[in-house]
Chains A and B, each alone.
Chain A
Amino acid sequence: MIREFTFNEVLFILTGVQATLMLSLLAFVCGMVGGLAIALSRASSNQPLRYVTSAYIELFRGTPLLMQLFLVYFTLALMGFELNAWNAAAVCFTLHASAFLGEIWRGSIEAVPRGQFEAARSLSLGYFARMFRVILPQAFRISLPATIGFLVQLIKGTSLASIIGFQELARTGTIISNGTYRPLLAFGVVAAAYFAICWPLSLWSSYLERRMSRGR
Chain B
Amino acid sequence: MTYRFDFDIVMASIDLLLLGCLQTLKLTMISGALALVIAVIVSYLRQRGSRPVKLAARTYVEIIRNTPFLVQIFIIYFGLPALGIRFDPETAAVVGLAINGGAYTSEIIRGGIDSVPKGQFEAGLALALTPLQVFRYVIIVPALRAVYPAIGSQFILLLLTSSIVSSISVNELTQAAQHIESQSFRSFEVYFIVTLLYLAITLIVSGVFRSVFKLCFRYPT
- CB proximity of B73 to chain A, nearest CB, Å: 10
Please measure, in the bound complex, the distance between the C-alpha atom of A38 and the C-alpha atom of B187, giving whole angstroms: 29
Would A156 and B199 count as touching, CB distance under 8 A? no
- CB proximity of A175 to chain B, nearest CB, Å: 12
Pick out which of these stretches binds chain B: A28-36, A43-51, A72-80, A106-114: A72-80
Tally of chain A residues near chain B (CB < 8 A): 40
Q: A63-B202, A159-B71 are in contact. Are A70 and B79 (CB under 8 A)?
A: no
Would A199 and B174 count as touching, CB distance under 8 A? no
Please measure, in the bound complex, the distance between the C-alpha atom of A74 and the C-alpha atom of B178, giving whole angstroms: 13
B72 within 8 A of A: yes
Residues of B within 8 A of A71 (CB): 188, 191-192, 195
> Which DSSP category, helix, strand, loop or mixed, fits chain B's interface?
helix
A15 within 8 A of B: no
CB-CB contacts of A147-159 with B at 8 A, as 1s and 0s?
0000010001101
Residues of B within 8 A of A156 (CB): 66-69
B126 within 8 A of A: no
Residues of B within 8 A of A202 (CB): 62, 65-66
Would A159 and B82 count as touching, CB distance under 8 A? no
Would A62 and B199 count as touching, CB distance under 8 A? yes
Per the 8 Å Cβ criterion, residues 162-192 of A in contact with B are: 162-163, 170, 173-174, 177, 182-184, 187-188, 190-191
Report, nearest first, the 4 A-B pairs whose CB atoms are least far apart: A184-B79, A159-B68, A64-B163, A198-B66
- What are some 17 contacts across the A-B interface (CB < 8 A)? A67-B194, A71-B188, A71-B195, A75-B188, A79-B1, A159-B69, A162-B70, A173-B71, A183-B74, A183-B75, A184-B75, A184-B79, A187-B71, A187-B75, A194-B67, A194-B68, A202-B65
Please list the residues of chain A having a beta carbon within 8 angstroms of any beta carbon in chain B: 58-59, 62-68, 70-71, 74-75, 77-80, 152, 156-157, 159-160, 162-163, 170, 173-174, 177, 182-184, 187-188, 190-191, 194-195, 198-199, 202
